[in-house]
Amino acid sequence: MQKGYFKSDSYQSPEKANPEIWDRLRSDSRLYFTLKYAGIVLRSRKQAIRKNYDTRDWTDSSYYIFRIIEETGGRFKIAGMENITKPEGPVLFISNHMSTLETMILPCIIAPHRELTFVVKESLVKHPLFKDVMLSRNPVVVGRSDPRKDFEAVMNGGAERLSKGISIVIFPQSTRNLEFIPEEFNSLGVKLAKKAGVPVVPIALKTDFWGNGRLVKELGPLDHRKTIHFKFGEPFNVTGNGKEENSRIIDFIQSSLEEWKE
C-alpha cells in the first residue's frame, strides 16, 4: 500500500498565520472552493473514463480536496487513526452520514492503508459527474427503494468484496442527515460484518461544515464556524445477532457528537 498522508494517529489543522486577514477572505471562499473542487472532479472523471484512475489517483484526489477545504478556512480534527490498521485483513467501517464531505475525505484517510470501497446509492453511480469515478472503485450499489433488494446487494456484494480483501465503508442511515437519529441507524453493517467474519471499526463524524446546495446538492455553502471532526473507534468483532454491537456503534457516535457540540 502507499504511504499515508498523515504522520501520526491524530491530526489537527494548523492555525492560520494571519487570522484577521483570513476571516475577511472567508466570505469569498465558496467560489474559490467550488472552482477548485470542480476542477478535481472533472480531472478525475476524465481519468476514470479512460480507465486510468487507480487507488492512488483516488486518494490523491481526496487529499487535494482535503487541502482545498483547509485553504478555504476548514479546520479538521481527526482522532483514532491507529484503529484503521489494527486488524489484519479487511475491515467494515460503519459511520454516521452527515454531508458530501465524508465521501470525499475518507479515501485519503483510509485507502493509503487498505484497499477500500463504499456502499453507495444508485443515484451516485448514475450522476453525470461522479458515476465514472465511483464505478472505478467497484462499489456496492443500493437503490434505497426496495429494502429487501438492498439487503441482498449488501450481504452478497459486500461479502464478496470483503472476501477479496477489500474493506468497505457503509453508512447505515438511509440518507445524509445533520441530526443523528438512532432509530434510523439500521443494523445492516453489523450483519454484513458477522456474515463475512470481519471486524468492525466504527466512525463518528461531524461534517456539517459543508452544507447542501440548492441547485447542486454537492456544492453547498461552507460554514466556517464549524470544526470538521472524524474519530475512528476501537475495532471489534460481531457475535450473536449483532444487536449489542450496533448499540455500541450508536453510543460511540452519540457520545462523540455530544463532545463536539459548538
For 120, the enclosing helix (H) or strand (E) is: strand 116-121
6/199 Cα distance (integer angstroms):
23
Judged on CB neighbours under 10 Å (0-12, 13-18, 19+), 19 is exposed
121 closest CA partner among 195, 79, 77, 171: 171
Q: What is the pTM of this model?
A: 0.92
Question: Among 96, 86, 89, which residue's Cα sits nearest to residue 193?
Answer: 89
CA-based nearest residue to 110, from 144, 64, 63, 154: 63
Domains belonging to the chain, first-starting first, are: 11-259 (3.40.1130.10)
The pLDDT tens digits along the chain (262 residues) read 677 899 999 999 998 755 555 555 554 577 888 889 999 999 999 999 999 999 999 999 999 999 999 988 899 999 999 999 999 999 999 999 999 999 999 999 999 999 999 999 998 899 998 999 999 999 999 987 788 999 999 999 999 999 999 999 999 987 888 889 999 999 999 999 999 999 999 999 999 998 766 655 666 678 888 999 999 999 999 998 889 999 999 999 999 999 998 7
Question: What is the C-alpha separation between 255 and 260, in angstroms, rounded?
Answer: 9
- Pair 200, 193: CB distance under 8 Å: yes
Specify the pLDDT at position 165: 97
Q: What is the pLDDT of residue 102?
A: 96
Cα–Cα distance for residue pair 78/178, rounded to 1 Å: 19
